[in-house]
Amino acid sequence: MLAVPVICAVAGVWIGAAAPAAHSYDPPDDAALELLIAAAQAEPDLGRRVELVSRRFLDAPYRLSPLGEGAGPSPDPDPRFTVAAFDCTTFVETVLALSLAPDLASAHALLDRIRYRDGSAEFGRRNHFPMAQWVPNNIRAGFLVDVTRRIGGERTALASKRLGPDVWQKSRAKNLPPLTPEMIPVGTFELPVIPIAAVPEVADRIPAGSVLSIVRADYRSIPFRVTHQGVVVRRQGRTYLRHAGRAGFQRVVDEPLLRHLERAAAYLKWPVTGVNLLQPQVPRDLDAMLGRAASAPQ
């Protein structure tokens, strides 16, 4: 990897920043997004929808934490929806919302559901912590299913992290969000991972469109272990990680998956434990979430 770890605002955890570089990216307007959603809805396979939608954002600039709670009493007044720029997790969240939604208004609503506990767009209810909030809350809501064990088999291990106000207060990580003690999850949280050395053996089995999370070693001085996310795509028989990359890219790119993992593994000061894999799915209560009559199964 490069001289610094893959740094991203994972689930709203701000752990580094850089000014976005200029790239040849033309953000789609609302009309173009409606057309993109319509094209995605015509594709019955959700994994292929994720590939189609995410492709539109290639070369979009990287910007740390481009989403917030918008207007109102929040320490993060950034807009609740934008496709002008992404960090790694807001890229994943926006792609999922657009891939599942029947129209743009629904995509806005689903993005809130993905980013916040029970869809309530409040800073204190945002899924700030991947292992403790983002992953389990989105599995519980029906947006994702963990397929790590299915892909990794007996090689799958379990990563854990203890969290609480004491861990947060002692953290040495920089640029963390202003969370009060009441906003910090309490307990030991776990995530299945495929060891990084085993990923080459199973890379071809990862479902297209899956969300891949990089999981690093457990350091008591750092209150998180997931440091990067992207979606797995396939082009011409090769497996890529499509992600909003900061270090070395400053934009959304397709990077060969194994090359990305080699870079990540080379950062020995904070070793990579492995990867977690989440396959998107259509929630059973999607219609209820959007306040509409039940539609045909998707």
pLDDT at 172: 73
The pLDDT of residue 232 is above 60: yes
* pLDDT above 90 as % of the chain: 80
Domains and CATH numbers, the chain: 30-283 (2.30.260.10)
Q: How far is CA 43 from CA 38, 92, 146, 269, in A?
A: 9, 19, 23, 43
Q: How far is CA 159 from CA 19, 193, 225, in A?
A: 33, 7, 9
> ∠ at Cα 108 (75, 132), nearest 5°?
55
Q: How far apart are the first and last CA of the chain?
A: 40
More confident residue, 292 or 157: 157
Res. 254 pLDDT band, cuts 50 70 90: very high
pLDDT at 18: 41
Q: What is the DSSP letter of 48?
A: H
Res. 247 pLDDT band, cuts 50 70 90: confident
Q: Which of 266, 291, 210, 199 is nearest to 243 (CA)?
A: 210
Q: Do residues 83 and 50 make contact, with C-beta atoms less than 8 angstroms apart?
A: no
The pLDDT of residue 13 is above 60: no
Q: Considering only 22-31, 131-140, 243-252, which range has the smallest mean pLDDT?
A: 22-31
DSSP labels for 178-216? Answer: ---GGGS--EEEEEEEEEGGGHHHHGGGSPTT-EEEEEE
Q: Which of 54, 24, 25 is nearest to 39 (CA)?
A: 54
pLDDT at 23: 59
Q: Do residues 274 and 157 make contact, with C-beta atoms less than 8 angstroms apart?
A: yes
Q: What is the CA radius of gyration of the chain?
A: 18
Over residues 25-39, mean pLDDT: 98
